Each structure stands twice: as C-alpha cells, then as structure tokens.
Chains A and B, each alone.
Chain A
Amino acid sequence: MHRNMKNLQNTWKRFVEKESLTPVRIFAILAVGVILANALEWPQDLEKIFRKKSPALLRFSGMKFLGINRFLPHASYVGYFTDRDLKKDTKASAQFAQAQYVLAPNILEANNLSHEFILFDCTSEDVALEKIRDIGAIPLKKNKFGIILATTKKHR
C-alpha cells in the first residue's frame, strides 16, 4: 500500500516536473470530463423523451379547436367563453392561448360575448348551454371535445 502511494507520488512529481500538467491542460481535462458527463446524461434524456405515453400532438390541447375555423369568416373576431379562471388556472390559460394559435388569423377575445361568433369552452356542456341560453345565442356546431360554437341572435 505504502509502496503504491510512493509510486503514485513519483509519477505525479514526474508529470508536474515535465510540465505535462499545465493549468491549460487541467482545464482541458476538466472540459473533457464535463463533456463525458453530458454524454452520459443523453441516454436518460432520450429515454425520457421516448417513454412519454401520449403522442406529442395529443398533449397540445389546441388540437381540440381544429376545424372550427371552417365555420368562421376569415380573420374575424370571435368571443371565447370559459367558466374556468384564465388568470389563476394555468391549464385553462394554456388552452385559451392554444385555441388562439390554432384559430389564427381569427382573433379570440376572452369573455367577450358581444361578437357574432362565440366559442364556449366550459367544464361541462350544461354550463355552456346554460350560458348560451342566457345570452340568447344559437349553438351552431359542437365537436367531440365539447367545444361549442354559437352565434348571437341579433346578427342572424
């Protein structure tokens, strides 16, 4: 054990004396170490990506609004009603933003019920239909995700 330590010390001494271990080389060794550590992290990282259960497209809740723009005039203003709190509920806020993304170039205006067309994205269909009745609108289209497009009577 003692002899081994001494050998190691001698090797180290020779290494330093020959200027094999300059600060720049220490830095290079450190950098290579970090690169290797990064490389070792990659398999885990990739596995995490491949392991995700649902396909990436389904995780984008904006997909719920696909096809609705066929019923809307080009680049029009559309009201958007939800009974969720857009300020506090991140999921609801994300869904609204993704709906805007999918329906562009139409402009969605949150909780503005004065437009000719209004999208109802509520926690339940009953809530949506009740609100539609309240404002005197007429439902035009409902998709499989429960999103209802309605139009206000006065513009009909």
Chain B
Amino acid sequence: MILLPYIISGLAGYLLVVHFLKSEDSRLYRPLIFFLAIGAGLGISAFIGFLSLVYFNQFNRVFVLACHTAWLATLGFIHRDFVKEEILLLLKGFGKKKPDFSTLTLFSTLAILLWIKAGEFPFGGWDAWSCWNLKARFIFLGGQDWNNLLNPVLWRSSPHYPLLLPLINAWGWIFTNETSRMIPLLTSCVFSLITAGLLFYGLKTFSGKPAAVLGALLLFTVPFFLTLSTDQYSDILIAYFLLAIFLCMLIAKKTKQESWIFLAGIFLGFLSFTKPEGTVAAAILTAIILFELILGKKENEGSRGRKKTILCFFAALFFASLPSIIFQLIYAPANQTFINGLATWDTHQSMIRLKLIFGFLYVELLSEKWNGLWLILLAGLILSGKSAFTNSLRAFPIFFTLYLGIIIFYYMTNVYFDLLWWLSITLNRILSMFLPALVFWVFYSIWQPKKTQPS
C-alpha cells in the first residue's frame, strides 16, 4: 500500500512520456524512460495536488485521486496497443532470456543501503522536518487553513519556498491516511534510486562502454552523498531533474526529435517548483536550451522547424511551470531571511567575504567526507580535455559556471546569516545538487563515442 502512490505516479509519468515520444524512441531508450517516467509522474502528482490547493483552497483527496484515475484512464486508453505490446514484450523477455542479474543486484543493494541510511534519521535532517515535512503536514492536515504555512511567524521554515516535495509527500499520505513518517523517507529513497538509475543508464546508453558506468558507482558508493540524498531534503529532487533535463537535451540533439525538448521543458517546470535554487537553475537552463535551439539547428533545419521546436519547448515549460508561476505571483511571501548587502557595500568587507567563500569551498571540496570524489572528477575533467567542451556537451560547463557564479553572488550579497555558519550547513547540499549531472558530464566526456570527439 505504501508503494502505491509511487507506482501510480510512475504509470502516469510513463503514459505522459510515451504519449509524446515516438514508439522507436520509447523502445531504444527503454531503461532511461523507466527512470524518467517515475520522476515525471511524481511531478504530475504534485501538479495535481497544487491544482487542488488553488481550486478548492485545500488538499482535496477525492479530487487528487479522481484526477490521477482520469489521467491513467485517458492516456491508457489512447495508448492501449502500445502498452499491451510493451507488457507482452516484458513477459516474453523474462521467459526467453535471463534478466540482467548483476544490474538487479546492484540496484537492490543500493535500495537496501538507501533504506538503512534513511532509517538513521526517520524524520530527516533538521531542514527536512522543519521546512519540507512541516509544509507537507500543513497541506495534508490543514484543510482550508493549509496556507497557514505561508505565515511569517513560521520564518524559520522558509515560507517562501516552493511546494513540489511537500505536495509529493501529501500525495503519498493519501494512501496511508495519516502523516506517516515512512512517506517522506520513501520519497527520498525513490528519488535517490531513480537518480542513480538515470546516471547509470545515461552513461551506459550514451557512451556504450561498460567503463563509463563507473561514474554511477563512484557517486552512489560515497556514504556522505547517500546521507545527503536520504535526508529528505529537496536537493535530491533538484539533482534528479537537472540530470533528466541534460539527458533529454542530449537525446534531442542525437535524435533531432522535438518531443525530447518538450520533455526537457516539462522537467524544467518541475525543477522551478522544487526550491529557490531550483528556480534559478531552471532559469539558467531555459536560457541555455533556447540558445542551443536557436544556434544549434541552424545548419540542418529551416526556420519553420526551429520555430516549431521553440514553441513546443515553451508550451511544455509554461504548462509545467504553472504551479511555480502561480505560487510566486499569488501565494509566496517575501523572503524574510534576506538582507541586501549591496545596500551597504564595503569593498574591504566584501573581499574578506569573497575570500571566506572560496576558502570554504576549497576546504569543502577536499574534505574527507567526499572520499576524494572531487579530486577524481577534476582528474577526469583534465583527462577529457577538449572533449568535455564540444558542441554537444557545452551546455554542462556553461550551466555549472553560471550556477556557481550566482550562488557565490548570493552568498556575497545576503548578509542575514553568519557567513561561516551558513556555508557550513548549505554548501555541501548545494554541491550535492549538481553532482549527478557533473559526474555524467565528466565520465561521458572521457568515454564518449569516438565520432563525436573533436579531431
């Protein structure tokens, strides 16, 4: 019963993905689609939950369940032949040849490790229960008073933060009929597992070389990364959506199918509803995708085709960003934990602040808790050389540079918190957000197929 919300969301996401993709693509990227579908489905469930908050001014369980049923019935009916074919293929596959036991063992081991890790703090980390899970309780138990969560009195729980994760947890609680601590715990495990799946199959599919999957193993064996990903924070959602967007962009470039750009738009919308950091990341990625769409297709596509793809991207982005837009315009209170340091700019003090930020970043990257992960990634980046900056991969370095720049700027300008304390509790989480995408970039750069490497 406790897994039911994730299965329903996974099915909803799967039907959404196959609705927009060509059937050849659906078969070619089958394992990737499986992991993309679960994330997309949980995003849809949160979307429906938010609709309920806007329309009924409460988390209406009947409405949320009815919407899921209608979604599954409609898309299931439209794609009944494809779904039937896929189920038959799955059954046949298991009957004829042996399943991939090594991969199954790998993922089962990871699932067990994640579960044990998550059980260490069943309520999650401090910011998880005081922010994300608290919001979920307000949504699920608050009835028409759900918006009490936006009350400035609760400034410690960042009332201005978006609601994707709390809405996913509230959706899960419908099936337990209480605010079971198992649901947020399971949500963090599911997102960790599907991020691992995306990274593993992303590297396997794109590079075609077994060595590339070392990247996934490297990241998901670091105990500290698993602690962060199972602490019930929203950061693992950002990590997942970032990787999903990059993979969709790469497949779109490879297949020249606009449906993948459409999917990237959907994931971008969900990303913008995760956390303010997610909103910033979504804005940067939107600009990068737009830039890629305008420049990248010049040679092989007419302006009409390009316009259609851009329109398709914006339609998906607009649709999936609706909760984020409505939340920011109507509901979100002002950020009470921000004091603009630019108003009292002091060059000397700012230089000290900048030195502290870079010093802390240096110490963090070399910290023992990461088990040399950052050094390995740096070595990999040096080794891959120009391959990491080819046209097909340039989105990665552009994104990381801009994102890190904005984060450092925010640390510089917001003088509300004691800088060292703030860095000590947030920097490692910010770094963990883009680790899966970073690992993918480095390992794919090294093991990408020869023809795409520069001569």
- A interface list, Cβ under 8 A from B: 23-24, 27-28, 30-32, 34-35, 37-39, 41-42, 45-46, 49, 52, 56-57, 60, 62, 74-75, 77, 94, 97-98, 100-101, 104-105, 107, 109
CB-CB nearest in chain B for A86: B156
Contacts of A34 on B, CB cut-off 8 Å? Answer: 218, 371-373, 376
CB-CB nearest in chain A for B156: A97
CB-CB nearest in chain A for B212: A28
Whether A35 and B383, one on each chain, are in contact in the complex, defined by CB atoms closer than 8 angstroms, is: no
Main secondary structure of the interface of A (DSSP, over half): helix
Whether B137 and A104, one on each chain, are in contact in the complex, defined by CB atoms closer than 8 angstroms, is: yes
Whether A28 and B211, one on each chain, are in contact in the complex, defined by CB atoms closer than 8 angstroms, is: yes
| Complex A-B: 25 CB contacts under 8 Å | A23-B383, A24-B446, A27-B376, A28-B214, A34-B218, A34-B371, A34-B372, A34-B376, A35-B221, A38-B223, A42-B113, A45-B223, A49-B117, A52-B120, A56-B121, A56-B122, A75-B145, A97-B156, A97-B157, A98-B129, A101-B123, A101-B133, A104-B149, A105-B141, A105-B146
In the complex the two chains form, what is the Cα distance from A105 to B117 in whole Å?
A: 29
Q: Which of B215, B223, B447 contacts A41 (CB 8 A)?
A: B223
Whether A60 and B221, one on each chain, are in contact in the complex, defined by CB atoms closer than 8 angstroms, is: no
In the complex the two chains form, what is the Cα distance from A24 to B453 in whole Å?
A: 15
Whether B143 and A46, one on each chain, are in contact in the complex, defined by CB atoms closer than 8 angstroms, is: no
Whether A75 and B148, one on each chain, are in contact in the complex, defined by CB atoms closer than 8 angstroms, is: yes
Whether A105 and B138, one on each chain, are in contact in the complex, defined by CB atoms closer than 8 angstroms, is: yes
Contacts of B130 on A, CB cut-off 8 Å? Answer: 97-98, 100-101
Further pairs besides A41-B223, A60-B123, A97-B130: 11, Cβ < 8 Å:
A27-B379, A31-B380, A38-B222, A41-B371, A42-B113, A52-B120, A74-B145, A75-B143, A100-B130, A104-B138, A105-B145
CB-CB nearest in chain A for B181: A57
Whether B142 and A105, one on each chain, are in contact in the complex, defined by CB atoms closer than 8 angstroms, is: yes
Contacts of A94 on B, CB cut-off 8 Å? Answer: 126
